[in-house]
Amino acid sequence: MKRNKILIVDDTKLYRQSLSDILKQKYGILEAENGKIALDLLKQNRDSIVAVILDIVMPVMDGFEFMEEFNTHKEYKYIPVIVATTRDDVEVEKRCLALGVWDFIPKRFHPDIIWFRVVNAIRRSKQHILEYDALTGVYNQQMFFQKTRELLDEFPNGKFAFIRFDIDRFKMINSFYGAREGDRLLKYVAGCIRKILKSYENYTFGRVAGDIFGICVQVKEPKEALKIAQTIRERLKEYENLHCYLETSAGCYMITDKEMDVSAIYERAVIAAGKCKGQYMQHEVLYNDKMGEALLREQVIINEMDQALANQEFVVYFQPKYELDEYSPCGAEALVRWRKPDGSMVSPGEFIPIFEKNGFIIQLDYYVWEKVCQYIQGELESGREPEPISVNVSRVNLYNPKFLESLINLVEQYRIPPQYLNLELTESVFSDTENVILNAVDYLHKAGFTIMMDDFGSGYSSLNVLKDIELDVLKIDMKFLSKSRNGDDGRGEKILEAVLQMAKSLNMPVIAEGVEEKRQVEMLKRLGCNYIQGYYFAKPMPLEQYRKLEKKSNK
Ligand code: C2E
Ligand code: CA
Ligand code: CA
């Protein structure tokens, strides 16, 4: 049986027969003598039917009734329906077109004409599947970008805005109300955009991905573009189906250089949209060059990173940790810096997030660990007993299949007992307590490493994580506690006290980080905190300086 089938719906056997004769060399043929049987056959063969040839006047269910039912099935949307007519009847033809019929063939069958009409209709429908988003019926990303290109080329002197927007927390809608509701909402949005853009002359729009839509439209001024986005958002509020508050984030970019790649144009709209996220009351943001500069800086960093690593421009600083009873140093945290050839220092806050995005952090972390291993080895070989050094392990590493192996190889290569190298994992790593992470932690424990949970309290998952994973040390950043919005009314202290108590009952030592003031030191001491790290005692320092400090305290 041929895979692609044509469904012939006609009550006259003779007609069915002659159509079948024309088409059966290439297609499988299904026959139905009325609309009802046809619908049943469609249901059973919906993946293999590529076209329907339909008679209008039939008993039981006629062609019009068939079309009405057919149109309620979105999965049939791209199956072309061709109506076979006996005579020219404008009224019938109009009604058919209104019902979404693709084409007509005369009932005095001429084999070649039938053949071409059917094949063309099938080809057009395949094209449609390639160009349109199946759910919403608007252009898909590829086609939308292409149409944007054509639009910009067609009006070289026009002023165009590009708008990219999405629905805030769309994933939540999907998971609370189900994918069907999510789909409905997306279709509604597509309909809104279509309506709003009707009053414009030159535009195109499409669904870029998921809940992201894009619009390219000729406007007089930027305000107009923002207004379009705002109107969409307002329309969304009128959407009654869900009993929740729908908001959008829109980024608008006024296209200045028409030669620019559409993907670069899109990128700018994405940057602008990114400025809305998490910002209360700001839903439409116009791109400006400052935002672009940040991107440019990012690009510069990416261009320079490999060379910088090879040139040893990344240097490891050490920030001592202190034991609170005696104020004696007890190890340090290794923190990376980027010393540019001109002597300027770039702080990790600027480059780590970028490297986490592009994966370079895996190489950089390894580099830092190796530097720390070299230091520890040097100490051990000179007969000194170094205090442990903790290194940061980016979350990206947890998804790196070579992570465990490369770390273990490293300490073996430098013959370092693992108790000298502690690992700091930020709390957000554990937000998804997948097996990968549980297993990695377990493995590292068995290998003898001490694992610290960094930035405890800054994420969302802290308490659950403590239940699920056995970690060795908690690090709390004082910044999270001291910056209370309405002045310090003692709430921070109470939270800290509770955390310290909990840690104690779990037998977990606590390191307070970011300690800057004497007041904090005294409080921490009173509350029974074990260790501190912070500017109050020492800032991160180059290795040489740290060495001296270590020597002094060993005396
Ligand atoms: P972190 O791991 O939470 O490191 C502590 C940060 O707090 C460091 O910033 C440190 O200099 C700073 N700090 C310490 N005491 C104080 C204080 O008293 N007051 C204030 N205001 N800050 C204090 P730094 O060195 O800029 O590092 C920032 C972040 O970059 C680190 O946060 C860590 O997440 C990341 N990072 C640094 N080095 C590495 C590395 O080698 N690998 C990875 N994956 N991340 C690193
Ligand atoms: Ca850290
Ligand atoms: Ca930290």
| pLDDT attached to residue 507 | 93
Pocket test for ligand 1, best of 321, 335, 532 (most atoms within 8 A of CB): 335
Q: What is the pLDDT of residues 206-228, one digit of tens each?
A: 999 999 999 999 999 999 999 99
Sign of CA dihedral 292, 293, 297, 303: positive
Backbone angles phi, psi at 547, to 5 degrees: -60, -45
Query: In sequence order, what are the residues at sequence separation of 6 or more whose Cβ sits closer than 8 angstroms to the Cβ of residue 423?
Result: 390, 391, 393, 444, 449, 450, 451, 452
Does position 229 have pLDDT exceeding 80, yes or no?
A: yes
Nearest ligand 1 atom to alpha carbon 356: 44
Least confident of 36-40, 128-132, 443-447: 128-132
Amino acid at 500: L
Across the range 31-39, mean pLDDT stands at 95
Largest CA distance in the chain: 109
Least distant ligand from the CA of 349 = 1
Q: Between 467 and 280, where is the model more confident?
A: 467
Can you tell me the distance from the alpha carbon of 62 to that of 95, in angstroms, rounded to the nearest whole number?
A: 13
- pLDDT tens for residues 332-349? 999 999 999 999 999 999
Percent of the residues in the chain that have a pLDDT greater than 90, as a whole number: 61
pLDDT per residue over 247-283, tens digit each? Answer: 889 999 999 998 898 989 999 999 999 888 655 668 9
Query: What is the CA(301)–ligand 1 centre distance, in A?
Result: 19
Residue having the nearest C-alpha atom to atom 21 of ligand 1: 514
Q: How far is CA 500 from CA 60, 450, 472, 482, in A?
A: 79, 19, 14, 16
Alpha-carbon gap, residue 29 to 329, rounded angstroms:
85
Pocket of ligand 1 (CB under 6 A): 319, 335-336, 347-349, 352, 361, 365, 368, 392, 394, 424, 454-455, 513-516, 533-535, 540
- Locate the ligand 1 atom nearest the alpha carbon of residue 335 and give its number: 38
Specify the residue with its C-alpha closest to ligand 1, atom 23: 514
- pLDDT at site 299: 87
Which strand (E) or helix (H) includes residue 113?
helix 111-131
Q: How confident is the model over 49-80, as pLDDT tens digits?
A: 999 999 999 999 999 999 999 988 877 878 89
- The rounded Å distance from CA 368 to ligand 2 centre is 13
Distance 493 CA to ligand 3 centre (A): 19
Nearest CA to ligand 1 atom 12: 514
Q: Distance between CA 177 and CA 272 in Å, rounded?
A: 29
- Give the pLDDT mean for 444-466: 84
CA 292 / ligand 2 centre spacing (Å): 30
Q: Which domains can be identified in the chain, with CATH numbers?
A: 5-131 (3.40.50.2300), 141-287 (3.30.70.270), 297-548 (3.20.20.450)
Structure tokens at 330: 């007890």
| CA angle, residues 541, 509, 547, in degrees to nearest 5 | 25
| Other CB atoms within 10 A of residue 205 CB | 21
Mean pLDDT value across residues 441-467: 84
Q: Which ligand does the CA of 350 lie closest to? A: 1
Contact of 329 with 550, CB cutoff 8 Å:
yes
Ligand 1, atom 22, lies closest to the CA of 514
Q: What value does the mean pLDDT take over residues 449-478?
A: 84
pLDDT class for 450, splitting at 50, 70, 90?
A: very high
Q: Which residue has the tokens 């009314």?
A: 489
Q: How much distance in Å is there from the Cα of 296 to the middle of ligand 3?
A: 28
For the cut 70, the answer to whether the pLDDT of residue 94 exceeds it is yes
Q: Which of 331, 333, 321, 411 is nearest to 366 (CA)?
A: 411
What span, in angstroms and rounded, lies between the C-alpha atoms of 473 and 422?
10
Ligand 1 pocket test, candidate residues 347, 392, 407, 427, most atoms within 8 A of CB: 392
Q: Who contacts 77 (Cβ-Cβ below 8 Å, separation ≥6)?
A: 134, 137
**Orientation of helix 348-358 relative to helix 289-310, angle to 10°:** 80
Nearest CA to ligand 1 atom 30: 348
532-544 pLDDT, tens digit per residue, is 999 999 999 999 9
Q: Which ligand is nearest to the CA of 422?
A: 2
User: Do residues 128 and 134 touch, judged by C-beta distance below 8 A?
Assistant: no
Helices assigned H by DSSP within 253-360: 262-274, 289-310, 348-358
Distance 347 CA to ligand 2 centre (A): 14
Q: What is the CA 43 to chain-centroid distance, rounded?
A: 36
Spatial neighbors of 458 by CB under 8 A, at least 6 apart, are 427, 428, 477, 480
Cα(412) to ligand 3 centroid in Å equals 27
Which pLDDT belongs to residue 432? 64
CA atoms of 365 and 397, how far apart (whole Å)? 9
Instruction: Looking at the CA of residue 475, tell me the nearest atom of ligand 1.
Output: 3
**Number of alpha helices (DSSP H) and beta strands (DSSP E) in the chain:** 21, 20
Share of the chain above pLDDT 70, in %: 95
The confidence score (pLDDT) of residue 30 equals 95
Cα of 548 to ligand 2 centre, how many Å? 23
Please report the atom of ligand 1 found closest to the CA of residue 515.
18
Rg of the chain (C-alpha set)? 33
pLDDT in tens, 473-526: 999 988 877 655 555 667 888 888 999 999 999 999 999 999 999 999 999 999
533 alpha carbon, closest ligand? 1
Distance from Cα 203 to the centre of ligand 3, integer Å: 49
pLDDT for 487: 55
Top-confidence residue, 149 or 246 = 149
What's the sign of the alpha-carbon dihedral 220, 222, 223, 228? positive
**Better pLDDT: 377 or 106:** 377
Q: What is the enclosing helix (H) or strand (E) of 371?
A: helix 361-381
Residue 555: what pLDDT? 59
Distance between Cα 419 and ligand 1 center (Å): 22
Distance CA 97, CA 292 (A): 49
Ligand nearest to the CA of 319: 1
Closest ligand 1 atom, residue 536 Cα: 18
For ligand 1, atom 24, the nearest C-alpha belongs to 348
Residue nearest to atom 43 of ligand 1 (CA): 392
3-state secondary structure of 486: coil
Residue keyed to tokens 């099935």: 73
Question: What per-residue confidence (pLDDT) applies to 242?
Answer: 67
Q: What value does the mean pLDDT take over residues 142-162? A: 94
8-state DSSP, 416: -
Which ligand does the CA of 514 lie closest to?
Answer: 1
Q: Is residue 466 very low, low, confident or very high in pLDDT (cuts 50, 70, 90)?
A: confident
| Per-residue confidence band for 104, with pLDDT thresholds at 50, 70 and 90 | confident
Instruction: Name the band, by pLDDT with cuts 50, 70 and 90, for residue 357.
Output: confident
